[in-house]
Structure 1
Amino acid sequence: MTTHRAGTGRARRRRWPAVVVTGVLVAGAAGWAVAYGPLRGEEAPRTADPEAVRTARAFLSSWAAGDLAGAARLTDSPAKAEETLRNFTAGLEIAKPVLTAGAARVDGAEGAEGAGARVPYRAKMPVAELGTWSYGSELAVARTDAGWRVRWELPLIHPQLNDKQRFKLVEEESAELAAVDRDGKAISAAEHPSLVSVLGLGGGKPRGEVQVVDRITGETRATAVRFGPDPGEGGGPLRTTIDARTQAAAEKALARHLDGRNAGLVAVRIDSGEVVAVANGPAGGFNRAFQGTYAPGSTWKVVTSAALLAKGAVTPETRVDCPKYLTVGKQFHNVETSEIPGASFRQDFIHSCNTAFVALRGRLTNDEMTVFAKDHFGIGPEWKTGVGSVDAEVPVPATETEKAAALFGQGRLRTNPLAMASVTATAVSGKFHQPLLVKGTEQPAVATKPLPSGVVKQLRSLMRDTVTDGSAKVLASVPGEVGAKTGTAEVTEDGNNNGWLVAYDGEIAVACVVEGAKSGSGSAGPVLRDLLAELASG
């Protein structure tokens, strides 16, 4: 069992300024995927047959729209596909799923005629009144006598679905739940409305889980997703790590600046990983802060930079040009097609230059980011906070284009404010602490290595400069030595983005994401500014 010592309340400082903003679902490069074509002197990456990709997208579209017969007709086993799709939806009380296709890749040998395609996708399944079940899977498309068809196999619905196991929904109503903050003081739904969906305050709230069970015996083999909190041990109050003042300030800041948009925010203690605030917009809605699945946008450059600096691939003073455009299978560009000729890596970081990071892709191997994120930031293994949460994903890129996008937080990367608050805390302390919300939660061991002290010093300096001279100047008025990184993550090529901001001070790291935003500094910026300023004033 892993436990963390709580602070004493009166003895600790009340400034609490460390914020991290996370999150956005992404379909292209960090907000900038437009034209296609190879770099001069480079071989163009193989692309999947457009008809194969269209078939995969049509299957997902029909499934999401409830046209299960239509979706089944696009497979090579229509009868079986329709039967399974209907059973899956009915048995789990899923309303209308949201299915988002990712970047397709060729499925077949080099040069093979009629090679198929593999298309990853993200699923958001609204389960009854419990919440959203988010996960990723993949479709394989092959040429048949009838044309392109999705290869029907049970794991395409969910990776854990097969001929020996199925899913089962178990529901119950939560009892009246008493909860206390890190100092043992009672916390209520009236004072902290965001904690209603996070902890289940007030009682009578539905909770449950989707279980993986044996098809024959019905024996439970695993839990695919859990909704709602566990009751307090021994019937006593739920002992949390929440700091009531920070929680109230976070909810107040979100409510002031959201204008009806969805958002999530998490603040953690840098020295322990303990969660001191969780806020969502709307306050009683889906727990995006813990269970959202977003591309992190340029806030991920904190991790990319850590990997490059630790390897000695760059220093803050290394010259890395920031051109308007750079093409790697598709064209990447910066906000408003800006450029910084002759830029240093420090300038690239503080002004969030996407093309500079794309240009550095050859200095990291394909799997290096995945391994580095796991070894130093604890991303990959399962986390246990005490309530339901979705773990971040850093998959190995399938193509050079995907790799380029991942370096600045796009592609198939999936995070949420919980993950990015932890990332920020790790970056500025050098040590990963698994986040915790409910005291006494038994946490699985996550083996990590500390970041080199020199890298930590460089990251803190880069993030501080981002506030004083870069894209996070919105925080410049906050007292204390605050550092930050902005992020603007593309959801669709022609729609609104998700705005991110992450920040830190001497005690906490905070992450906030605002959906349907123009930029991180413009949307999440005012939220974090108000939160940190209020905490610094007390």
Structure 2
Amino acid sequence: MRRSARDTEDSARIITRRALFMGGSMAAVVAVLGARMRYMQVDQADQFRMLAERNRVSIRLIPPARGQIFDRNGKLIAGNEQNYRVVITREDAGDVNEVLHRLAGVIPLTPDDIERTLAEVKRRSPFVPIIVADRLQWDDLSKVALNTPSLPGVTPEVGLSRTYPLDTDFAHVVGYVGPVSESDLAKLEDPDPLLQIPKFQIGKIGVETWMEASLRGKAGNTRIEVNAVGRVMRELERIEGDAGQDIRLTIDADVQNFMQARLGQESAAAVAMDVQNGDILAIVSAPSFDPNLFVRGISYKDYEALTGNDHRPLANKAVQGAYPPGSTFKMVTALAALEAGVITPETTVSCPGHYEMGGRRFHCWKRGGHGGVSLERSLAESCDVYYYDIAQRVGIDKIAEMGRRLGLGMRHDLPMSAITEGVMPDKAWKQERYSQDWRIGDTINASIGQGYVLTSPLQLAVMTARVASGRAVVPRLVRSIGGEELAVPDAPPLGLDAAQLRAVRGGMFAVINSQRGTGYSTRIADDTLVMAGKSGTSQVRNISAAERARGVISNEDLPWERRDHALFVGYAPYDNPRVAVSVVVEHGGGGSSVAGPIVRDILLRALTGGMPPLTAYPTNQRNRIETQLKELKLRQPSPDTDTKSRA
């Protein structure tokens, strides 16, 4: 079929357009290539000439400065110090083994140092700098700098290393940093490239690890020119990273230091908490350790001394320790019974020194008994039989519910390691845990904080603050991040009857201020700082009937690990609560005689802003207290002392 002239004309026109489009596209590509060739051959001629002479450009990460940690008043807790070190890069060094042996002639390097570095070099990419030696003296760093022409791939550097100027005071709170391990990397799906840098330090425990994302910052990078033998010729470009964010804690470093000194070498823990907003003012586990040892590389001898100590200095007893609360739990049982309506503050229970139930006898701590006991007197004199009786009326489930309402049996969300939930048992818990029914004897034991009940010093401080304030105060440890203040958690009312709370607080007041109270010797003489509290002594061993018959062995006559735990909780001032404190002394003996005085001293230190005034103590105690406070003052840093002087 013949095509018409019109069809032929249209076809020619289409072909012409296509040819023009394709020709134009090819011309554009040629123009771009030409421009790029001119840029590379003319504008960058000098750079490529150097590369042609076997110079190379290397890109390296710049670790950011780690964020610093401060107390509530701006005192430095964790900072950074200059660290002189030497690194080697495999791709620039050539024969790494030979270079390391040359370096050993310049600065002290042991065969173990060389072997360790060689092993690290094999594990890392060829462009990653490996730290050969750090914490060098300036003289050694200068020697390396002078000898770099004969040490290809070796670079002297000035970096930053973590330091803890208040050493033992914040070891369990802030924790410490250490080199990234394989296990650290295995936990991350997409690890930060910074973590690939050998000996890069990250948080290992405490605030350092839980706030790692804020503290670490973001890496910068530098483009450097190295010649054929690996010597750095010049820095071509440098992009600084972003330093980590500074963190301010709620803790008062001076109160923290006093608390640490007051606990001394006891195996103990203490927590001081703001009753109104939940701020942790101090939180200590004793004995402590120096976190700087871990940053610098702890020796086997030092580590063995820590792990072999039966007082467990590495454990954070304040949040990890779970102890039977003993009689400090009696406020929980009392409030549960009051709310359930099975007793009133005036209800009395007869205490003959024991309680009979199911053919078993449960003893009061006072062998001869207390006689007729009301709520206030039951707390003041810590009558056990009163609580055995009312616990049977209210039942364990309501007691457990009240315990959880007051902050027990739950994990409080703080940036600290291994925080325990403790145990606030009920019928369902025992069935789930042991596949056993709850028994009457279990309720009796739980009513006085024994049996299955376990609490931490942190939880006891929260409980005390909630009883004192009547609100669900939530503990917090971080005050600001990067200069931005964090919101204070809401503290709604507990929903407890005001009169019932007053009755329990009145009993706690009588513990300290009634002459028959178990804590009378720990009273505060200053009327503006009057204290309320509760003592507790929790058994760690069973007392047999035969031992009761011949006389219970006193704590002083038992091996340390079989003695009772001493506990005490308190708050002050009684009529306007500001601070709540809990103290647990492992195997300390009596709560009133051992833990009570510590609680009083900490409250006075926190409330007065200085060393406890002698006028706050009863007159007959002042000579002894004065000597004790002088000894404690010697352990305190002077107000004008730079914190770095204690590093």
TM-score above 0.5:
yes
TM-score bracket, shorter-length normalisation: 0.5 to 0.7
| Alpha-carbon distance in 1 for matches of 2:338, 2:184 | 42
Residue segments in structure 2 that go unaligned for 5+ positions in a row: 1-64, 79-163, 190-203, 218-243, 290-312, 428-437, 481-485, 544-561, 611-647
Partner of 2:521: 474
* Structure with more contact order per residue of length (Cα contacts < 8 Å, sep ≥ 6): 1
**Aligned 8 A contact 1:428 1:457 in 2:** no
Q: Residues 534 and 303 of structure 1: is their aligned pair in 2 closer, same or farther, counting only changes over 3 Å?
A: same
Q: Residues 211 and 402 of structure 1: is their aligned pair in 2 closer, same or farther, counting only changes over 3 Å?
A: farther
| Alpha-carbon distance in 2 for matches of 1:179, 1:247 | 15
Write the letter of the residue equivalent to 1:186: L
Return the offset for 1:493: 1.9
Q: Residues 212 and 360 of structure 1: is their aligned pair in 2 closer, same or farther, counting only changes over 3 Å?
A: farther
User: In the alignment, does 2:591 pair up with 1:520?
Assistant: yes
Q: Residues 436 and 383 of structure 1: is their aligned pair in 2 closer, same or farther, counting only changes over 3 Å?
A: same
TM-score scaled by structure 2? 0.49
1:79-117 alpha-carbon deviations (Å, 9 max, x no partner): xxxxxxxxxxxxxxxxxxxxxxxxxxxxxxxxxxxxxxx
Greater helix content: 2
| Alpha-carbon distance in 2 for matches of 1:412, 1:210 | 35
Return the offset for 1:415: 0.6
Partner of 1:242: 251
Return the offset for 1:197: 2.0
Return the offset for 1:406: 0.6
Partner of 1:253: 262
| Alpha-carbon distance in 1 for matches of 2:593, 2:179 | 35
Partner of 2:272: 267
Question: Which structure 2 residues correspond to residues 49-128 of structure 1 after superposition, within 5 A?
Answer: none
Return the offset for 1:200: 1.3
**Aligned 8 A contact 1:474 1:529 in 2:** no
Q: Residues 282 and 205 of structure 1: is their aligned pair in 2 closer, same or farther, counting only changes over 3 Å?
A: farther
Residue segments in structure 1 that go unaligned for 5+ positions in a row: 1-174, 218-225
User: In the alignment, does 2:403 pair up with 1:373?
Assistant: yes
TM-score scaled by structure 1? 0.59
Return the offset for 1:280: 1.4
**Aligned 8 A contact 1:192 1:248 in 2:** no
Return the offset for 1:373: 2.3
Q: Residues 380 and 489 of structure 1: is their aligned pair in 2 closer, same or farther, counting only changes over 3 Å?
A: closer
| Alpha-carbon distance in 2 for matches of 1:331, 1:344 | 22
Greater strand content: 1
Partner of 1:357: 387
Return the offset for 1:271: 0.6
**Aligned 8 A contact 2:269 2:584 in 1:** yes
Question: Which structure 2 residues correspond to residues 119-518 of structure 1 after superposition, within 5 A?
Answer: 178-187=68-77, 189-191=164-166, 193-200=168-175, 203-204=177-178, 227-229=205-207, 230-231=210-211, 233=214, 234=217, 235-255=244-264, 260-284=265-289, 285=313, 286-328=315-357, 330-374=360-404, 376-388=405-417, 389-397=419-427, 398-439=438-479, 449-469=494-514, 470-479=517-526, 480-493=529-542, 495-505=562-572, 506-518=577-589
Return the offset for 1:191: 3.2
| Alpha-carbon distance in 2 for matches of 1:413, 1:481 | 30
| Alpha-carbon distance in 2 for matches of 1:327, 1:206 | 60
Q: Residues 310 and 228 of structure 1: is their aligned pair in 2 closer, same or farther, counting only changes over 3 Å?
A: same
Return the offset for 1:378: 3.8
State the secondary structure of the residue aligned to 1:517.
coil
| Alpha-carbon distance in 2 for matches of 1:481, 1:396 | 36
Write the letter of the residue equivalent to 1:296: P
Return the offset for 1:338: 4.2
State the secondary structure of the residue aligned to 1:187.
strand
Identity %: 29
| Alpha-carbon distance in 1 for matches of 2:179, 2:287 | 17
Return the offset for 1:296: 0.5
Write the letter of the residue equivalent to 2:468: V
**Aligned 8 A contact 1:249 1:535 in 2:** no
| Matched residue count | 347
State the secondary structure of the residue aligned to 1:239.
strand
Q: Residues 420 and 211 of structure 1: is their aligned pair in 2 closer, same or farther, counting only changes over 3 Å?
A: farther
Q: Residues 395 and 404 of structure 1: is their aligned pair in 2 closer, same or farther, counting only changes over 3 Å?
A: same
| Alpha-carbon distance in 1 for matches of 2:383, 2:403 | 21
Q: Residues 402 and 192 of structure 1: is their aligned pair in 2 closer, same or farther, counting only changes over 3 Å?
A: farther
> Which is worse superposed, 441-450 or 319-328?
441-450
Q: Residues 205 and 358 of structure 1: is their aligned pair in 2 closer, same or farther, counting only changes over 3 Å?
A: farther
| Alpha-carbon distance in 1 for matches of 2:408, 2:367 | 32
| Alpha-carbon distance in 2 for matches of 1:204, 1:410 | 40
Q: Residues 263 and 478 of structure 1: is their aligned pair in 2 closer, same or farther, counting only changes over 3 Å?
A: farther
State the secondary structure of the residue aligned to 1:439.
strand
**Aligned 8 A contact 1:428 1:459 in 2:** no
State the secondary structure of the residue aligned to 2:467.
helix
| Alpha-carbon distance in 1 for matches of 2:354, 2:579 | 36
CA RMSD of aligned residues (A): 3.2
| Alpha-carbon distance in 1 for matches of 2:67, 2:534 | 37
State the secondary structure of the residue aligned to 1:335.
coil
